[in-house]
């Protein structure tokens, strides 16, 4: 028993220190402190372990974090680290929920975790819960939204909380007008979660909350959410040197992750061989100084931002990453008409002095030569086979011996020297002969740049008469003229044309004029040709004799007078060609002439062609005339329609006919027009036929017709229709009656027009002729009496002149339009009285003549008849005088008598002058007071009155102011 007791005592003594150690290690960690970082939503933990048995010991810690209440553990973290004596340990936890949204609790425990320990260690007891309450810092202010100005990465989830000191159960938050799903965390806190947020703008997105969704006061709490793009791995990371002194590293950073207020994207270079690191100022390139003894480099490019870190590696030999600088001093030497030498220099790279260079020669905007050349610092290349007087651009670039990249191009322009033109001008002519001479118009095409070998200065034209070889002329035409006119004596000449530049003259272009080719036009028949997509195609038969070539000429315009003559030369074996021109227009007819060129350089006409590059449908229809209208037919004609001026060859015509019955006459078929109307049609296939008879129609029926031409491209417009109505069956009877009546009416009209002068003189002369008057037939002459018209020498005319008639006296003929007193001024009234051959004291009849032309009141007077009056003159007067007023009053009742009231055989004819003309008395007349012309005079009616009525009454003598007597034969007209 004693040994056993000793063993037990020894074992207990051995376990005692171990138990004491275990107790010390498993004790509670001391000094656990928790701090808050609201902007980063992080909890920072600090703690320390006391009474370590070793200076350094590896330990494991377990951390628990609860939210709202201690039992609600939301996070458990196992953290291992090496602990030193009196060391303060740190650990950080980031919360997805802003710390201000809820109260958090933290505790920790630890245990030994060294591998050399043989026994299993146990956890120490938990530390006390440390309460983290960020809400206590908010106070009693208005509601808040957390986080404030949150920065998140695109595609992540974001939790937002609404904190209020009051119970809030109807809170909603919006982002870009969209409501966010809500979760009630407690009575004061509402939580809103955004999933997979997307990048919108570098300026952020506004998020705000409201208590009542129907009321927005404008002061709602809100925040700004910043979403950055995901940091990408750099692409195309490359480093190179241009001078063996500096490395230039470049890369593609991808999307920029910086947003306003959070510029966190940055780059750095780390070289592993030297262990050096350099921060880059730019996001896509960085420089590194080359060490003198370093040829190999191993770079790591590190990209990082607030959320991520990415890196790429690059290992290279410096000699294999040489990018030479641009060559310089590019010059050209020994430039001739066809050769040139280019020289250049390259920047030296120390021991790396051998370069591979590439040389290019450009002309007319494209590379025409490309060569590789090995060179040192100085390089050169010889160009050959160049064109004279041509501008070229040459350039060179170089690369190092271990090819990595070409340098930039370095170039220069140069021009070769001029040479004489290498080709004769392409010449053609137009000949017109007039009175033994020829007017020749020469045309030539400008030489191309490759043929002219320099700028053409002038053209030389030499003419030589074939009949007189000694007769020649030389003309110089300055460039850029492309033609000239020559007047030649006779039509047999040889013409030579050359083009000259500063280096010399071109070969000659020779042609022979041997007559007017226009005389051959009538002998050659014109043929029609068709256009294709490539142009106008034509062919011809080769002539029987030898030819050295052919020429096809035409006018590039539709008008022959303004002809832009064009031509094309063809070889001797050609029998067809396709002519194309940018000037060709659809619907325009072009005339082509094909000439053969004899070995003697004489051109003669072989064929004439006419055609269109593209035919079009006619734009207008012919004007149609109707003739031979009958009961059952009518004839349409359009003979004035010009077919040569149409936009295509007329192949025929189409006649449309429609009526209300919609019945087609024989020879017509049904057709539907573009406006879907139905009519009848008839095709005329002969384009020369320009008349058509429409037959088998109904009498008295209404028809509409249309004639439209046809070409290969289609027919003319389907409008407008003409209108016609066939004759009625009884119309011919009416014509037999109407035509004679119209003929007689026309005949009478012609006769009246021919005899109009005779009828006027007979029926209504201007001045009646007594000899021609039919009034004499009204008189019944006495037996054995000879009726005649009195002449001036057969009687003694007397005159009664009334001057200064009182205004109170008005004399007016019955039915007259105006009284004598209503005239505009005082007038002299004259009445000529002619005595009869017998001096009868009794009353005598009289006949009056009225001049209707000169007296406007007379036609309405309605009086003419015998006037009874005595033939006794007052004593003391040589003539018979009376006052006009009294005379007219005496005449008025007498004028109303008809000629039938005058006894037969007692009629005396008296003639009275038609014009009252005041003059002075005749020398043989009795002395009277001289008379002066009145301001106005007028024509008076003609009348015959008995002399007895000329005696004035005693009371009427006071109205006379003057009197005059006329001798026989004296007339005052």
Helix (H) or strand (E) segment spanning residue 890: helix 884-895
The pLDDT-based confidence of 306 (bands split at 50, 70, 90) is confident
Nearest-angstrom CA–CA distance, 531 and 579? 9
Q: Which of 49-58, 754-763, 876-885 has the lowest mean pLDDT?
A: 876-885
- Predicted local confidence at residue 887, as pLDDT: 42
Size (the chain), residues: 973
- 573 Cβ contact list (under 8 Å, min separation 6): none
Whether 444 contacts 497, CB under 8 Å: yes
- Predicted local confidence at residue 416, as pLDDT: 93
- Per-residue tokens: 130: 């440390």
**β 589-597/603-612 pair status:** antiparallel
Of 294 and 734, more confident: 294
Please check the confidence at residue 865 and state whether its pLDDT lies above 60. Answer: no
- Predicted local confidence at residue 788, as pLDDT: 53
Of 476 and 168, more confident: 476
The pLDDT-based confidence of 724 (bands split at 50, 70, 90) is very high
Of 758 and 882, more confident: 758
pLDDT, one tens digit per residue, over 191-200 is 888 888 888 8
- Predicted local confidence at residue 419, as pLDDT: 93
Nearest-angstrom CA–CA distance, 292 and 42? 48
- Predicted local confidence at residue 119, as pLDDT: 56
- 448 Cβ contact list (under 8 Å, min separation 6): none
Q: Which of 137-141, 230-234, 413-417 has the lowest mean pLDDT?
A: 137-141
**β 222-228/150-153 pair status:** parallel
Between CA 457 and CA 462, with CA 459 as vertex, the angle to 5 degrees is 150
Whether 492 contacts 464, CB under 8 Å: no
- 120 Cβ contact list (under 8 Å, min separation 6): none
Q: What's the average model confidence in pLDDT over 665-691?
A: 91
- Predicted local confidence at residue 862, as pLDDT: 41
Q: Which of 92-106, 157-171, 234-248, 601-615 has the lowest mean pLDDT?
A: 157-171
- Predicted local confidence at residue 78, as pLDDT: 93
- Predicted local confidence at residue 776, as pLDDT: 52
The pLDDT-based confidence of 281 (bands split at 50, 70, 90) is very high
Q: Which of 225-229, 433-437, 944-948 has the lowest mean pLDDT?
A: 944-948
- β-partners of residue 71 are none
Residue 706 dihedral angles phi and psi, to the nearest 5° = -150, 135
Per residue in 32-59, is it b (16+ CB within 10 Å) or e — as a string?
bebebeeeebebebebebeebeeeebeb
- Predicted local confidence at residue 930, as pLDDT: 39
- β-partners of residue 819 are none
Please check the confidence at residue 877 and state whether its pLDDT lies above 70. Answer: no
Whether 551 contacts 568, CB under 8 Å: yes
Please check the confidence at residue 946 and state whether its pLDDT lies above 80. Answer: no
Nearest-angstrom CA–CA distance, 239 and 908? 154
Give the closest residue to 893 by CA, choosing from 854, 866, 875.
866
Q: What's the average model confidence in pLDDT over 479-507?
A: 90
Q: What's the average model confidence in pLDDT over 582-597?
A: 91
User: What's the distance, CA 534 to chain centroid?
Assistant: 30
Nearest-angstrom CA–CA distance, 741 and 354? 123
In the chain, the domains with their CATH numbers are: 30-136 (2.60.40.10), 141-228 (2.60.40.10), 235-320 (2.60.40.10), 328-415 (2.60.40.10), 421-514 (2.60.40.10), 517-614 (2.60.40.10), 624-732 (2.60.40.10)
Q: Which of 208-222, 463-477, 797-811, 939-953 has the lowest mean pLDDT?
A: 939-953
- Predicted local confidence at residue 564, as pLDDT: 84
- Please give the C-alpha separations between residue 561 and each of 404, 466, 582, 871, in angstroms, as whole numbers: 69, 31, 20, 98
Cis ω for the linkage preceding 480 (within 30 of 0) = yes
- Per-residue tokens: 424: 């004769």
pLDDT, one tens digit per residue, over 354-365 is 899 999 999 988
- Per-residue tokens: 968: 């026989």
User: What's the distance, CA 240 to chain centroid?
Assistant: 56
pLDDT, one tens digit per residue, over 615-625 is 999 989 999 99
What is the per-residue DSSP string for 108-176?
EEEEE--TT-SSPP-PPPPPPPEEE-SGGGTTT-S-EEESSSEEEETT--EEEEEE-SS--SS-EEEET
Please check the confidence at residue 488 and state whether its pLDDT lies above 80. Answer: yes
Scanning 699-797, the segments in alpha helix (DSSP H) are 731-754, 756-763
DSSP conformation class of 953: P
CA atoms within 13 A on the CB side of 467: 8
The pLDDT-based confidence of 966 (bands split at 50, 70, 90) is very low
- 726 Cβ contact list (under 8 Å, min separation 6): 629, 630, 631, 632, 633, 634, 697, 698, 699, 700, 701, 703
Task: Sheet containing 172-175: give its strands across.
Answer: 150-153, 222-228, 205-210, 172-175, 178-179
Q: What's the average model confidence in pLDDT over 720-740?
A: 80
What mean pLDDT is reported for the chain?
Answer: 77
Please check the confidence at residue 958 and state whether its pLDDT lies above 80. Answer: no
Please check the confidence at residue 812 and state whether its pLDDT lies above 70. Answer: no
Please check the confidence at residue 316 and state whether its pLDDT lies above 90. Answer: yes
- Please give the C-alpha separations between residue 451 and each of 365, 389, 418, 846, in angstroms, as whole numbers: 19, 10, 11, 120
Whether 883 contacts 802, CB under 8 Å: yes
Task: Sheet containing 309-317: give its strands across.
Answer: 276-280, 266-271, 296-304, 309-317
- Predicted local confidence at residue 5, as pLDDT: 46
User: What's the distance, CA 297 to chain centroid?
Assistant: 66
What is the per-residue DSSP string for 77-95?
EEEEEEEETTPEEEEEEE-
Helix (H) or strand (E) segment spanning residue 410: strand 410-415
Q: Helix crossing, 756-763 with 731-754: angle to 10°?
A: 60
Distance between terminal CA atoms of the chain?
209
DSSP conformation class of 794: G
Nearest-angstrom CA–CA distance, 164 and 144? 7
Nearest-angstrom CA–CA distance, 407 and 374? 14
- Predicted local confidence at residue 969, as pLDDT: 39
- Predicted local confidence at residue 922, as pLDDT: 42
pLDDT, one tens digit per residue, over 898-907 is 334 444 444 3
Nearest-angstrom CA–CA distance, 337 and 419? 7
Nearest-angstrom CA–CA distance, 921 and 927? 8
Q: Which of 200-204, 390-394, 410-414 has the lowest mean pLDDT?
A: 200-204
Q: Which of 485-489, 492-496, 800-804, 891-895 has the lowest mean pLDDT?
A: 891-895
Please check the confidence at residue 895 and state whether its pLDDT lies above 50. Answer: no
- Predicted local confidence at residue 39, as pLDDT: 80
Q: Which of 128-137, 171-180, 619-628, 822-831 has the lowest mean pLDDT?
A: 822-831
DSSP conformation class of 326: P
Give the closest residue to 317 by CA, choosing from 290, 337, 295, 349.
295
- Predicted local confidence at residue 773, as pLDDT: 56
The pLDDT-based confidence of 424 (bands split at 50, 70, 90) is very high
Nearest-angstrom CA–CA distance, 565 and 556? 6
The pLDDT-based confidence of 804 (bands split at 50, 70, 90) is very low
Give the closest residue to 825 by CA, choosing from 938, 664, 661.
938
Nearest-angstrom CA–CA distance, 498 and 313? 73
The pLDDT-based confidence of 181 (bands split at 50, 70, 90) is confident
Of 833 and 387, more confident: 387
- β-partners of residue 577 are 538
Nearest-angstrom CA–CA distance, 810 and 820? 6
Q: How many CB atoms lie within 10 A of CB 359?
A: 22
Nearest-angstrom CA–CA distance, 657 and 702? 11
Which three-class secondary structure string do you get for 447-514?
CCHHHHCCCCCEEEEEEEECCCCCCEEEEEEECCCCEEEEEECCCEEEEEEEEEECCEECCCEEEEEE
Q: Where are the beta strands (DSSP E) in 258-354?
A: 266-271, 276-280, 285-289, 296-304, 309-317, 328-333, 340-345
Q: How many CB atoms lie within 10 A of CB 227?
A: 22
Give the closest residue to 835 by CA, choosing from 913, 941, 945, 918.
945
Q: What's the average model confidence in pLDDT over 626-638?
A: 92
User: What's the distance, CA 704 to chain centroid?
Assistant: 40
- Predicted local confidence at residue 519, as pLDDT: 60
With a pLDDT cut of 90, the percent of the chain lying above it is 39
Give the closest residue to 426 by CA, choosing from 244, 573, 565, 575.
565
- Predicted local confidence at residue 845, as pLDDT: 46
Nearest-angstrom CA–CA distance, 322 and 345? 17
């Amino acid at each position: 028993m004693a040994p056993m007791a000793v063993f037990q005592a020894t074992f207990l003594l051995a376990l005692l220190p171990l138990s004491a150690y275990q107790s010390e290690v498993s004790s509670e960690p001391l000094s656990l402190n928790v701090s808050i970082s609201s902007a980063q939503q992080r909890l920072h933990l600090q703690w320390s372990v006391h009474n370590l048995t070793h200076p350094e010991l590896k330990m494991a810690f377990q951390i628990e974090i609860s939210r709202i209440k201690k039992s609600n553990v939301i996070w458990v973290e196992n953290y291992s680290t090496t602990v030193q004596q009196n060391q303060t340990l740190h650990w950080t936890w980031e919360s997805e929920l802003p710390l201000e949204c809820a109260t958090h609790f933290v505790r920790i425990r630890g245990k030994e975790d060294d591998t050399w320990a043989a026994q299993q260690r146990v956890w120490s007891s938990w530390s006390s819960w440390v309460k983290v309450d960020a809400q206590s810092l908010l106070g009693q202010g208005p509601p808040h939204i957390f986080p404030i100005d949150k920065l998140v990465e695109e595609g992540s989830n974001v939790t937002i909380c609404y904190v209020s000191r009051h119970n809030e159960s109807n809170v909603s938050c919006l982002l870009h007008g969209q409501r966010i799903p809500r979760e009630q965390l407690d009575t004061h806190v509402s939580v809103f979660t955004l999933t997979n947020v997307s990048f919108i703008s570098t300026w952020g997105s506004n998020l705000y909350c409201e208590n009542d969704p129907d009321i927005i006061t404008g002061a709602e709490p809100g925040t700004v959410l910043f979403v950055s793009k995901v940091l990408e791995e750099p692409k195309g990371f490359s480093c190179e040197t241009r001078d063996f002194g500096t490395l230039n590293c470049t890369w593609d950073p991808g999307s920029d992750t910086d947003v306003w207020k959070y510029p966190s994207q940055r780059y750095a270079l780390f070289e592993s061989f030297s262990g050096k690191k350099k921060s880059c100022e730019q996001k896509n390139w960085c420089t590194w100084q080359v060490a003198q003894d370093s040829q190999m480099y191993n770079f790591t490019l590190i990209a990082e931002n607030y959320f991520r870190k990415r890196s790429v590696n690059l290992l290279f030999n410096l000699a294999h990453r040489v990018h030479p600088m641009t060559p310089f001093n590019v010059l050209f030497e020994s430039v001739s008409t066809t050769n040139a030498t280019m020289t250049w220099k390259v920047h030296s790279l120390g021991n790396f002095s051998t370069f591979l260079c590439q040389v290019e020669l450009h002309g007319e905007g494209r590379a025409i030569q490309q060569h590789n050349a090995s060179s040192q610092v100085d390089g050169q290349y010889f160009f050959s086979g160049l064109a004279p007087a041509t501008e070229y651009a040459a350039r060179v670039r170089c690369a190092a011996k271990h090819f990595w990249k070409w340098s930039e191009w370095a170039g220069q322009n140069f021009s070769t020297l001029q040479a004489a033109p290498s080709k004769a001008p392409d010449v053609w002519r137009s000949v017109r002969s007039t009175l033994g001479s020829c007017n020749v118009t020469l045309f030539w095409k400008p030489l191309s740049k490759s043929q002219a070998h320099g700028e053409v200065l002038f053209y030389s034209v030499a003419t030589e008469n074939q009949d007189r070889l000694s007769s020649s002329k030389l003309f110089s035409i300055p460039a850029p003229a492309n033609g000239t006119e020559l007047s030649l004596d006779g039509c047999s000449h040889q013409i030579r044309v050359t083009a000259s530049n500063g280096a010399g003259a071109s070969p000659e272009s020779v042609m022979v004029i041997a007559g007017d080719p226009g005389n051959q036009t009538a002998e050659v028949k014109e043929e029609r040709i068709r256009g294709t997509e490539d142009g106008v195609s034509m062919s011809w038969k080769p002539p029987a004799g030898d030819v050295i070539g052919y020429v096809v000429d035409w006018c590039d315009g539709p008008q022959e007078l303004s002809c832009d003559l064009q031509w094309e030369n063809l070889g001797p074996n050609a029998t067809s060609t396709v002519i194309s021109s940018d000037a060709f227009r659809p619907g325009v007819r072009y005339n082509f002439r094909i000439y053969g060129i004899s070995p003697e350089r004489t051109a003669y006409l072989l064929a004439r062609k006419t055609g269109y590059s593209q035919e079009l449908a006619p734009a207008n229809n012919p004007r149609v005339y109707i003739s031979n209208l009958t009961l059952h037919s009518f004839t349409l004609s359009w003979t004035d329609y010009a077919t040569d001026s149409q936009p295509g060859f007329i192949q025929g015509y189409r006649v449309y006919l429609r009526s209300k019955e919609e019945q087609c006459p024989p020879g017509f078929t049904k057709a539907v027009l573009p406006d879907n109307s139905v009519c009848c049609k008839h095709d005329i296939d002969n384009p020369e036929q320009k008349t058509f008879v429409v037959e088998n129609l109904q009498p008295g029926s209404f028809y509409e017709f249309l004639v439209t031409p046809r070409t290969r491209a289609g027919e003319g417009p389907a409008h407008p229709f003409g209108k016609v109505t066939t004759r009625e069956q009884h119309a011919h009877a009416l014509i037999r009656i109407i035509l004679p009546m119209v003929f007689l009416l026309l005949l009478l009209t012609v006769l009246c027009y021919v005899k109009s002068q005779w009828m006027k003189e007979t029926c209504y002369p201007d001045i009646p002729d007594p000899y021609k008057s039919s009034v004499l037939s009204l008189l019944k002459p006495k037996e054995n009496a000879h009726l005649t018209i009195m002449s001036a020498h057969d009687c003694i005319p007397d005159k009664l002149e009334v001057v200064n008639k009182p205004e109170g006296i008005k004399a007016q003929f019955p039915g007259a339009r105006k009284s004598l007193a209503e005239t505009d001024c005082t007038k002299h009234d004259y009445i000529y009285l002619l005595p009869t051959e017998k001096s009868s004291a009794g009353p005598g009849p009289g006949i009056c003549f009225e001049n209707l032309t000169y007296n406007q009141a007379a036609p309405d007077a309605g009086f003419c008849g015998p006037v009874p009056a005595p033939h006794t003159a007052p004593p003391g007067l040589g003539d018979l005088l009376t006052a006009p007023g009294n005379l007219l009053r005496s005449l008025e009742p007498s004028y109303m008598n008809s000629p039938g009231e005058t006894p037969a055989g007692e009629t005396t004819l008296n003639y009275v002058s038609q014009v009252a003309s005041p003059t002075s008395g005749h020398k043989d007349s009795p002395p009277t007071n001289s008379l002066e012309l009145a301001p106005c005079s007028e024509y008076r009616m003609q009348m015959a009155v008995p002399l007895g009525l000329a005696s004035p009454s005693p009371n009427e003598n006071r109205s006379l102011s003057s009197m005059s007597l006329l001798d026989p034969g004296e007339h005052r007209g």
